[in-house]
Amino acid sequence: MKRLINLCVLLLCSSLFAQTYIPKYVGEYKQQIVNEGAYTLCYLNDYELSVWVAYDLNPAQNVKRADCFRVDPKIVGGTATPKDYLNTGFDKGHLAPCDDFCDSTEHMQNTFFMSNMSPQYPNFNRIVWRMLEAKAKLIYAKYGNCYVVTGPVLNAPPDKYMRIGTSVKTVVPRFFYKIYFAKDSDSYHAWAFIIENMTSKQQVDDFSKYQRTVRNIEQLTGIDFFTELPQETQEKVETSIEKLNF
């Protein structure tokens, strides 16, 4: 009977979420988990940010980017508006990047919900973060699959951060994390990064200095990743650092 119940739960989760792995935020703040179609997010109203965004990469490029920033009607309590970012010195930085969702117009447009945005310094968003985002397609090209989970590091109380906006007060994160995960016939691979929300224009040729273990990120963020994996596999994936040599 217990096995039957577990199977039903697994099938239910598969129908609710398109993603292979759904992280679990175990922090103290109220969360909203929202299925945006091709990606899923976990929104914290106390920060007015998503603490994680997760998706399985589809590298198809069938449509071109068309900006359509807008509030997310699925978030109870509302999100920032595009105007909240005006004249703040911060970009509306995608967590799930538009370029990873150009398989369809709907998926591309859904990345412009403000729940998927985070205040990022322009040089960070347009140079460093974008360079790291590009690694997803390289991983997919090598392994034929790539799961991505990313978000801000929110390891201090909400009142300890700078905030922007008038409709809501959105926290400005000091750091962001990104985790890539892939599997082949007989092994699993994970690459985890933490990078400061920096003002520098410097390009990054080697991201290895930003690499951390998945376990490091779990400890900083209060998020449990890859709980669907067998315990032994999860332990190996989360405590090792594999070089990203491409």
Phi (first) and psi of residue 157, to 5 degrees: -60, 150
Q: pLDDT tens digit string along 194-244?
A: 999 998 877 788 899 999 999 999 999 999 999 999 999 999 999 999 998
Structure tokens at 123: 């040089």
Segments in 77-167 forming alpha helices (H): 105-110, 122-123, 129-133, 135-143
Q: pLDDT tens digit string along 20-45?
A: 899 999 999 999 999 999 999 999 99
Q: DSSP label at 25? A: E
Model's pTM, two decimal places? 0.92
Residues 6+ apart with CB under 8 A from 4: none
Q: pLDDT tens digit string along 120-156?
A: 999 999 999 999 999 999 999 999 999 999 999 999 9
